[in-house]
Amino acid sequence: MQRFKVTVFKPFPFEKGQKIRINGGKRNGDWEVIGISDTKVTLRCPLSGRQFEWDRFCYLADVLDDEIWPESH
């Protein structure tokens, strides 16, 4: 049987109150997790206060300690 390099993605285990940063795509920027269900995540922009509910979509890329949040753009 042939073997291959395989990249594995797992849904991120969001926690309410979490401060997150999404790099790239239409959801780019800093967000606070304010709601979670099995299929949806609700995020709030810390600058505008706007809230959005989306299908769960994030995958863990990195965890950074001692970061300024939110970033000023």
The pTM assigned to this predicted structure is 0.75
The per-residue pLDDT for range 40-64, each reduced to its tens digit, is 999 999 999 999 999 987 676 677 7
The 3-state secondary structure of 51-66 reads EEEEECCCECCCCCCC
In 3D space, the residue among 26, 30, 29 whose CA is nearest the CA of residue 18 turns out to be 30
The per-residue pLDDT for range 14-31, each reduced to its tens digit, is 999 999 988 888 889 999
